[in-house]
Amino acid sequence: MRYQEVRKGRFLHRPNRFVAQVELNGKVETVHVKNTGRCRELLPEGAEVYLEHADHPGRRTQWDLIAVKKGKRLINMDSQIPNRVVEEWIDAGHLFPDKTKVQREYSYGESRIDLYVETPEKRILIEVKGVTLEESGRVLFPDAPSQRAIKHMKELQRAVKEGYEAYLFFVVQMKGVEYLIPNVETHPEFARTLLESKEAGVRILAYDCEVTKDSIFLRQEIPVVETVSLLYDMAEPVADWYEAHKRDLPWRRKPEPYGVWVSEIMLQQTRVEAVKRYYERFMEELPSVASLAKAEEDTLLKLWEGLGYYNRVRNMQTAARTIMEDHGGSFPSSYEEIRKLKGIGTYTAGAISAFAYGIAKPAVDGNVLRVITRYLAMEEDIGNPGVKKKIEQLLEDVIPKGRASAFGQGLIEIGALVCLPVGTPKCADCPLQEQCLGRKRDLLDRLPLKKKEKKRRVEEKTVFLFREEDRVAIQKREGKGLLAGLYEFPNALGHLTQEEALEYCKARGLMPVRIRRLPEARHIFSHVEWEMIGYEVLVDDLEKTNTEGFLFVNRKHIAKEYAIPSAFDAYTRYAGIK
Instruction: Let me know if 264 is a catalytic residue.
Output: yes
CA atoms within 13 Å, Cβ hemisphere of 18: 2
Ranges of beta strands (E only) in 302-440 are none
Alpha carbon distance 490, 473 (integer Å): 7
Cα 164 to Cα 202: distance, rounded to the nearest angstrom: 10
Among the listed residues 304, 317, 281, the one whose alpha carbon sits nearest the alpha carbon of residue 483: 304
Q: Which of 264, 392, 413, 488 is catalytic?
A: 264
Do the beta carbons of residue 274 and residue 308 sit within 8 Å? no
Q: Tell me the DSSP string of 293-332.
A: HT--HHHHHHHHTTT--THHHHHHHHHHHHHHHHSTTSPP
Q: Using CB atoms within 10 A of its CB, is residue 19 exposed (0-12), middle (13-18) or buried (19+)? A: middle
Q: How far apart are CA 297 and CA 303, in angstroms?
A: 10
State the Cα–Cα distance between residues 354 and 411, nearest whole angstrom.
13
Q: Are 308 and 269 in contact (CB under 8 A)?
A: yes
Q: How far is CA 214 from CA 2, 67, 68, 219, 547, in A?
A: 6, 9, 12, 16, 98
Instruction: Give dist(CA 328, CA 337) in Å, integer.
Output: 13
User: CA-CA distances (angstroms) from residue 439 to 224, 235, 371, 378, 435?
Assistant: 26, 18, 11, 12, 8
Q: Which residues are catalytic?
A: 264
